[in-house]
Every structure is written in C-alpha cells, then in structure tokens.
Copies of this chain bind each other. A is one copy, B any other.
Amino acid sequence: MAKKLVYFFGKGQSDGNAKMKSLLGGKGANLAEMSSIGLPVPPGFTLTTEVCKLYYENKKRYPKELKSQVETNLKKLEKATGKLFGDKKNPLLVSVRSGAAVSMPGMMDTVLNLGLNDRVVEGMIELTGNDRFVWDSYRRFIQMFGDVAMGVPHHAFEHELEEVKRAIARRKGIQDADSLVQEALNKKVPDVAMDVDALKTLVGRYKKVYKKYTNEEFPQKPRTQLWHAINAVFNSWNNERAIAYREINEIRGLLGTAVNVQTMVFGNMGDDSGTGVGFTRDPSTGEKSLYGEYLMNAQGEDVVAGIRTPHPIKDMQKENKKLYQQLQTIRKKLEQHYKDMQDFEFTIEKGDLYMLQTRNGKRTAHAAVKIAVDMVKEKLISQSTAVTRIEPAQLDQLLHPMFDVSEESKAKVFTKSGLPASPGAAVGQAVFTARDAEEWTKEGKTVILCRLETSPEDIRGMYAAKGILTARGGMTSHAAVVARGMGKCCVAGAGEITMEEKAGRMKCSGQEIKEGEWISLNGSKGVVYVDKIKTIPPKVSGPFATLMKWADKLRTMGVRANADTPQDTKAALKFGAEGIGLCRTEHMFFEGERILSFRKMILVAPEVKRLRDLLTDEKEEERKVILQTQLEKPMKQYLEALKELLPLQRGDFAGIFRELNGKPCTIRLLDPPLHEFLPHEAEGQRELADALGIDAAQVKTTVDSLSEFNPMLGHRGCRLGITYPEITEMQTRAIIEAALQVHAKKIKVRPELMVPLVGTAEELNMQKQVITDTVNAVKKERKLKKLPFPFMIGTMIEVPRAALTADKIGESAEFFSFGTNDLTQMGCGFSRDDAGKFLVDYVKAGIYESDPFQSLDTAGVGKLVQMAADLGRKTRPNIKLGICGEHGGDPKSVKFCYQVGLDYVSCSPFRVPIARLAAAHAAIENPPRKTKTGARRKTARKRAGKK
C-alpha cells in the first residue's frame, strides 16, 4: 500500500489526532482533534510534514503518490461540503496554510479564498447577492496569492491600491488625497470609499501586476492555484527567514512543515452569519462562565481591526438563543476534552457554527489560580496538574500592588530606560536624599527616593520611601537587592536620567522633575511616569492559599527567606518561608544610633591592626613594650565600641529567633568592606568627627586609607574576621547569648552561623576556631556542658575558588549556602553595579540567554555550583546545601537548584511563594527517586526546616 501522505479532517471524523503533531504539524493535528471530538470544524485535509521531507530529499519533487492522494481528498472534501472546486454555482473555496510541529513565524502564513477566479466570482455574486464582498474577496485573494505564494512584492499591489484611491478622491473632489490615503493606511479606516467599480478596476490592475512580476497570467484554474500555494508553503520551509528563525531558536529535528487545505467559511454572508472569539471561563477573573465577543455579518479581521465594536457573548443569549446554547455545549466539550480553559475562534456561516481554532487561553494570574483550583474541585485535573498550570513568575502580580492598566497606558512616561529591579507599583513625591525620605515620611507624606545610586547609608530612607529609583546600578545593585528584600517597588539603573541630587531635581529627554513633584514607578517593567497613577492592591485570595498548600505538599526542596529584622522575618513567615536562609548582620548596624558605635570601631580598627602587625616582630623586645603602650588606647576604644554593639545585636537576634519559633536561621557574619559604613562626603565626615569629638581630618584619612579600587574583590567577608577576630567574636557571642535567652523562654531556636567569602579551607578553619572558642567561653560563663539547642557552622560558597576546593572546605563546613550573586560576579567577571551598562546589550545579542544576575547562568556559574555540591557531598555526605543569592527566587534557577540536589533555596520574602511553586514544579517534572537519594532528600527536607 502506498504511504499515507494526506490526512482528512471534518464532519466528526478525522484521520489524525492531537498527538500527531510531528506528522501533521500543530495546526493540522489540532484541527483533526477538534473534528474527532465532534466539534464543527470546516472540513479539509493536511499534507504531512513527511511530504516536505521527501520533497527536499528528492530535489524538490513530490512523491508520485501525492497527486492522487490530494485528488482523492479533494473529492472527499467536495463530498463533505457539497461544494465543487471551481464550480460556478456552488464553488468550494479553501484556505492554504503552513503548519509545522512548532509555530514558526518565518514561514508562509496563509492564502485565503483560494478557488476564486473570474467565473467563480460571478457565481459567488449570485449566491451571496453581495457583489462588493465578492469583488473585494477576489482582489484580496489575488494580492495575497501573489504576495505570499508567488513572491510578488507587496508594495507593487499597495501602489495600485493607492492609485485607485487617489482616483476616487479626485473624483469625489477631495483635494488632499494623500492625507486620505495616509489616514486609511495608518488608522485602518475601512475602504468605504471603494465601490464595486473601483474594486473591479483594482482586480484588473492587480492581474497586470501579477503578470509583470511572474511572467504568467493570473491562474484561473483552482487546481493550479492550489498547487502553486502548496509549493509555496513547502518552499518557505527553507527560506532564509525560516532557517534563521530555526537557528536562533535552536529548533532541530523537525521533518518539515505540513500544509493545511481547509474549506473557507464566511461570517460576512449576511445577518445570519458572523464571527467571534470565546473563552471557556473569564480570563480576567477566572469565573466559570462563557466569555467573549462576537459580531454578526463580519469576518475575524474586522473584529481585530476594531472597525466595528463587537458585542459581549452574553448578549447572544437574548439575540440568538440556539447559537448560544450551541456555544455552551462546545464550551463544555472543550473543557472536558482539553482539561483547561480554552480560547477559541468561531464563525457562523448562514446560521451554521464552525470552530476555526482552539487553544489554551491566556489569563491573569488571579484567574489562573482560580481556574486551576476550581478545575480540581470539578475533578477535571489533579492537584499536581493545577500546580503546574501556574507559572511561578506570574505570582508576582498577586503579591504586589499593580497599576490600573488602562490608567498606566495613558500616563506620561518620564523614562523607560530603567531596570525592573523590584516588582510592583509605587506612587509618591520625588525626594533626592535619604534624609528627606525619612523626614517627609514622618510628616505623613508619601515619597519616592530618587538617587544616582544607593549605599548602606541610605537604608533608613529606603525603608521610609514608598519606592526607589536609581540612575545607576544593575539588577543586583544595592538599591535593587535591598528593595527586593523589603518587597518595595524599585526601578534601578535608569541610565537616561541625569540625577542632580544636590539641586533637588532630575532630568530626562528634556523633562524635569523637581523635589516634591509626583511620580509613579512600575518596578515590574522598569518604567517611570511623570503622573500619579491609580494602583490596585494585591489580592492573596482563598484559591491562592489552596494552591500554595498543594504546592508545598508536592515539593521536596525547602524554601527559606532572606531577612534581616524581626519585621522582615514576620513578613517572610507570612509568605510561607520555612526559616531564614540569609540574615545579613550589617544592615543592623545602620539602625538608630548604633551606626555611631560601629563607625567608632572602624575608625580605630586600622590603627589596631597596624600596631598588632608590628608586635609580631618578636625579636625587637623593646619595640614590643613601646607598642604595647601605644596599642592600649586604640585597643580600648576598639573593644569598647564592640561592647556597645553586643547588646544591640543580641537584641536583634533574639527578636528574630522569637519570630522564627524554632525554624532555622542562617546568620551571616559581617560581609561588606568597612569603608561602606563610613560617610564619603566631607559633610558627613565632619558630622561624624563632631559626634566622636575627633578631628575631621582623621576621619578623612581613615576613609581614604580604607577606600578600594575594586571593593567587590577587596577587604570584606571573612577577610575582615581574620584581620579583626574580635568582630567575629562579638557577633558569635551576640548570636549564642540571644539564642540562650530565647531558649530560656521555652521557645525553640536553631541558629546556623555562616562565614562569608571563604576562598580557602584555612580561612574557614581560622574563623571556625574563633567561633568555637567564643561558644566555649559563653558555655563556661553559663556553666553549660553543651548548648541546649542545635547549632551549626557553615560557609557561603561565593568565591569560585571555594567551589573548586569545596571538598577541602567541606571538612569544616556543616553546610554550604551558595551566594550566587557574588559567584556570578566573580565567575563571569561582572561587577553587578557596573554591568548594567552592557549586560542589557549582552542579553539582546544572545551572549547570555538572560541576565545572569536574575536567572542563574547554569552553563557557567551553575557548573561551579554543581561541582561544589558534588565535592562537598563527597567529603561530607550529609552536608546541608542551600542557595541564598537572588537566584533563590527565580523559577528557572530554583529548578536548577533542585536538579543539583540542594536542600533548600532562600529568597526575598516577597518571592517565597514563587520559590515554593517553582520547587513544586521541579519535583513534579522530575520526581525524586525512591532510592537512597530520595531518602536523603526527605531527611534533607527535614533538616532544611520543611515540616
């Protein structure tokens, strides 16, 4: 038997089905599927993708059996429709469309109304009684066929169209013909001016154009038209655009494209005809009711063009009850069959309803959640399917205030050059210093803090502000990271803005915003508006909670939050965090007056170090004595400052432990370089000097001596703890004492102490020694044999060298937490504060798939993570592994973390639900094996704090 090359569909019978995408293409398979479940699809047939393959393998010749199979199916089609191809009385018109297994914009799209010719036109006019419609269809067909199938330049037809329109205009005495044409072209005004005669003239001109470019008369035989169109589709598979598209999108392994030949139906054949689009549920609210629009005596393109206003589908209930009932039946059938909300297109031709297309409908996050949860209740889908239906990133819409879309679209843009650094919407009066942000807020005003860039000094102002805008810095700049941590809207690195902080204004493309003027930020898009835009508060409704409960049940990986204060911790727990994966201790130093103590310590620390270094020169006994007397004063000041900080930090930790109530808390020792805590401006330096009763010059000297060329790679992280072990000591003591204090009140505590920026095992060992010595000292003071709570010491893996030598580091570390922000900075060689300048271009150029600070660069940085995880487990099989970089809240990165086998991810509180959902997706896609690993994962999950 000859190979089956053509598949029929229609009238409740189909040769193919939805699973045959690779053979029939997406469109063909879908049409076959709809047909076979009894939906009224205009019948037709599909030439398989295999034909395409054979066509190219055989020097662009078709397999010989094709012609007869097409002919057989054409006959079958004529029989099914009761129409005849090329018949004057009852002509069969068809559409010809390409359709590969993957949608591919590079190929030929559609030829409509194929089958029309001079003779059929006449018959059609008789049939429809609408000569304008028929002539317009004919001229459109010639144009489309010529352009799409035969390669006649589009502009050649357009030129004729303009000429004819001009002629009409002249005839009608309209002087300014160009403006009319322009208007018609630009605004897609209907060609009302074109009468039947004009259309006839146009058909004649089009035929001439066709001949000029093809050296052939326009073909009058429908079969010739059909084969030309089929050829065109197959040839378009290998045109430059299609090849480029496949290369860019890395589409491989396809046989070719299929060709779909389908009966035309017309919604514009009179008042008993029409067209519409429907949703099986409301795509904006998720309500379970038919939703959509329709328009009688119209074609789909009329609806799209917005020429006439369509009616809501519910109106049909009154106006055409039968059709409405039919649509309701279809709605039910679609959902029963596709198990998802469908977005479908239909046409009514002389009272008969036809389905042209159906696909999963787009919906708002809100609707998506409601639909998924409802469908589980309706037993249409499983909980697990419901969970996978929601894209984790969509949740952002539910967790932050958003702009009213219609208001936003009308608002005046200040700049679009910003990065979407922290999602949500914020409206407020512009202020240009952190101090103003604080003070204005105290006065009851709502402000947006606008800065060139932010630094830790601005923290309090950032807390006070409703939103943050910076002109410099990337997605993981200080402003962006802190804002996301606070769940606060932020637009960062808006490079087009000239920020004049001292003058209290900013400028962009000729616009200026002065202090006190209202602006609006869209932190999800990175856009700044000059206006006040209405915002809609977040809705964390019932279905959302249900869905998250299911997600939690399904996932195996823990989810923690990055939080630095009791308030943040509270927020994190509300969002479902199972502990804190990163508690940054440095932000604590900025609260209240404590910054002064901290600065006092910093100002004297370098002198302490210098004198100590001299002391190590043991041979010079005398010098030693002198130095010890020199050292006494600065050492005292240094230790005093630390002593002042101890109770404050202890209080912070106690507050966090109380909130956590037994959930684990990973606390990172001091990380940023010391100069970040000092004022860099002369004014601030003077104030500090006054507060401490010292000389301003001394402050300046210290700030200068601490300044660094590349602070990111400077004296920070555990390098500080190694130079100044007393800081590590103080922080350890604060943690242990706080834990004991909270534990004494019968509240469980689980502190995990994390050493940052470790590059070698020796660094960790040295810091671990300081930590255990301090713990032992506290135990001795309290007369404890052991700590009455679990306590772990681990490290961040954020320096490439640490990842490379993780086997060694694993000897001392009880856990690794991947600091993928810094690992990306060092691994890729990008300063997160500077890379904004070129990273956008890099993503545009495809050098990176996405911003590596937003979504983990799995091929590069991910390799380091994988390597470190493997090496760490080799040394310590039960090592706890987590991630606390910004990537912990990025769905794609969460999936990667799951693949690598991390025990948990940690992210900003506001991204916790996203991470929970992403973790569930990962587990569903790739279920944990029931082997040892599985067992390990469960234990791991427990250890990670998951219930």
Q: A709-B834, A722-B838, A838-B722 are in contact. Are A829 and B800 (CB under 8 A)?
A: yes
Instruction: Tell whether, in the assembled complex, residue A838 and residue B712 are in contact, meaning their CB atoms are under 8 Å apart.
Output: no
Chain B residues whose CB sits within 8 angstroms of the CB of A825 once the complex forms? 713
Q: Which of B760, B762, B831, B861 contacts A708 (CB 8 A)?
A: B831
Given A710-B713, A714-B834, 9 more A-B residue pairs with CB atoms under 8 Å apart are A616-B844, A708-B833, A708-B834, A709-B712, A710-B834, A713-B713, A759-B828, A801-B857, A805-B863
Residues on B with C-beta less than 8 A from A553 are none
How far is the CB of A515 from the nearest CB of chain B, in Å? 22
A800 to B708, CA, bound (A): 22
26 pairs across A/B with beta carbons < 8 Å?
Answer: A613-B841, A708-B834, A709-B831, A709-B834, A710-B713, A710-B831, A712-B713, A712-B831, A713-B829, A713-B831, A713-B834, A714-B834, A722-B845, A722-B847, A759-B828, A760-B860, A763-B847, A800-B800, A800-B829, A800-B860, A801-B828, A801-B860, A804-B864, A805-B859, A822-B829, A826-B827
**A942 → B minimal CB distance (Å):** 33
* Residues on B with beta carbons closer than 8 Å to the beta carbon of A616: 844
Whether A846 is near chain B, meaning CB under 8 Å from some CB there, is yes
Contact mask for chain A residues 695-733; partner B; CB cutoff 8 A; 1 contact, 0 none: 000000000000011111111000100110000000000
Indicate which residue in B762, B808, B841, B863 contacts A723 across the interface (CB closer than 8 Å).
Answer: B841
A860 touches B766 (CB 8 A): no
Q: Are A799 and B838 in contact (CB under 8 A)?
A: no
**Complex Cα–Cα for A863 and B803 (A):** 11
Please tell me if the beta carbons of B805 and A860 are within 8 angstroms of each other in the complex. Answer: yes
In the complex, A757 has a CB within 8 A of chain B:
yes
Q: Considering only CB atoms and an 8 Å cut-off, how many residues of chain A contact the other chain?
A: 52
A687 CB to nearest chain B CB (Å): 24
- A457 and B299 CA atoms in complex are apart in Å by 71
Chain A, 124-166, CB within 8 A of any chain B CB: none
Is A789 interfacial (CB 8 A cutoff)? no
Whole-angstrom distance between the Cβ of A873 and the nearest chain B Cβ? 18
Q: How far is the CA of A687 from the CA of B710 in the complex (A)?
A: 28
CB neighbors of B among A830-850 (8 A): 830-831, 833-835, 837-838, 841-842, 844-848
**In the complex, which residues 785-843 of chain A have their Cβ closer than 8 Å to any Cβ of chain B?**
798-801, 804-805, 808, 822, 825-831, 833-835, 837-838, 841-842
Q: Which of B713, B759, B829 contacts A757 (CB 8 A)?
A: B829
Q: Which residues of B contact A808 (CB under 8 A)?
A: 859
Q: How far is the CA of A857 from the CA of B799 in the complex (A)?
A: 14
Q: How far is the CB of A247 from chain B (nearest CB, A)?
A: 13
Which residue numbers of A lie inside 8 Å of B, CB to CB?
A: 613, 616, 708-715, 719, 722-723, 757, 759-760, 762-763, 766, 798-801, 804-805, 808, 822, 825-831, 833-835, 837-838, 841-842, 844-848, 857, 859-861, 863-864
A861/B801 contact (C-beta < 8 A), A712-B710, A712-B713, A763-B847 known? yes
Q: How far is the CB of A140 from chain B (nearest CB, A)?
A: 25
A861 → B minimal CB distance (Å)? 7
Q: Could you tell me if A860 and B759 are in contact, using CB atoms closer than 8 angstroms?
A: yes
Q: In the complex, which residues of chain B have a beta carbon less than 8 angstroms from the beta carbon of A842?
A: 722
Q: In the complex, what residues of B have CB within 8 A of residue A844's CB?
A: 616
A805: chain B residues within 8 A (beta carbon): 859-860, 863
Would you give the shortest CB distance from A562 to chain B, in whole angstroms?
21
Residue from the list B613, B828, B846 in contact with A762, Cβ < 8 A: B846
Q: Which of B760, B827, B831, B848 contacts A847 (CB 8 A)?
A: B760
Pair A709/B838 contact, Cβ less than 8 Å = no
A686 to chain B, nearest CB (A): 22
Q: Which residues of B contact A766 (CB under 8 A)?
A: 845, 847
Interface centre among A709, A711, A805, A841 (most CB of B within 10 A): A709
Enumerate chain B residues within 8 angstroms of A715, measured Cβ to Cβ: 834, 837-838
- Whether A831 contacts B714 in the complex (CB less than 8 A), given A719-B838, A722-B838, comes out as yes
A713 (CB) vs chain B CBs: closest residue:
B831
Query: How distant is A472 from chain B, measured CB to nearest CB, in Å?
Result: 9
In the assembled complex, the Cα of A640 lies from the Cα of B908 at a distance in Å of 50
Measured between C-beta atoms, what is the minimum distance from A830 to chain B in Å? 6
Q: How far is the CA of A715 from the CA of B846 in the complex (A)?
A: 17
User: Could you tell me if A829 and B826 are in contact, using CB atoms closer than 8 angstroms?
Assistant: yes
Q: Contact partner of A709 among B711, B723, B863, CB < 8 A?
A: B711
**Complex-state Cα separation, A425 to B801, whole angstroms:** 36
Partner of A833, one of B709, B719, B861: B709
A847 — which chain B residues lie within 8 A by C-beta? Answer: 722, 760, 762-763, 766
Contacting pair B829 A762 (CB below 8 A): no
State how many angstroms separate the Cβ of A611 from the closest Cβ of chain B. 12
Q: Which residues of B contact A822 (CB under 8 A)?
A: 829
Given contacts A760-B860, A762-B845, contact A710 B833 (CB under 8 A): yes
Contacts of A864 in B (CB 8 A): 800, 804
Q: Which residue of B lies closest to A762 (CB)?
A: B847
Q: Which has the most chain B C-beta neighbours within 10 Å: A616, A860, A861?
A: A860
Task: Tell me the complex Cα distance, A712–B710, Å.
Answer: 7
User: In the complex the two chains form, what is the Cα distance from A781 to B825 in whole Å?
Assistant: 43
Chain B residues with Cβ below 8 Å from A759 are 828-829, 860
Least CB distance from A199 to B in Å reads 30
A830 — which chain B residues lie within 8 A by C-beta?
Answer: 713
List residues of chain B with CB within 8 A of the CB of A826. Answer: 713, 800, 826-827, 829
Distance A715 CA – B864 CA, assembled complex (angstroms): 24
Of chain B, the residue at the smallest CB distance from A798 is B829
B723 close to A838 (CB less than 8 A): yes
- In the bound complex, do residue B801 and residue A827 qualify as a contact, i.e. CB atoms below 8 Å apart? yes
Give min CB distance, A607 to chain B, whole Å: 13
For the complex, give the distance between the alpha carbons of A846 and B765 in Å.
11
A714 to B711, CA, bound (A): 13
How far does the alpha carbon of A802 sit from the alpha carbon of B827 in the complex, in Å?
Answer: 9
The residue in chain B whose Cβ has the minimal distance to the Cβ of A612 is B841
In the assembly, what is the distance between CA of A825 and CA of B829, in Å?
Answer: 9
Please name all residues of chain B whose beta carbon is closer than 8 Å to the beta carbon of A857 when the two chains form the complex.
Answer: 801
Q: Nearest chain B CB to A612's CB is how many angstroms away?
A: 10
8 closest residue pairs by CB, A with B: A710-B831, A713-B831, A801-B860, A709-B833, A799-B829, A710-B710, A708-B834, A714-B834
Give the residues in chain B near A798, CB-CB below 8 Å.
Answer: 829
Chain B residues within 8 Å of A719, by CB: 838
CA distance A834 to B716 in the complex (A): 11
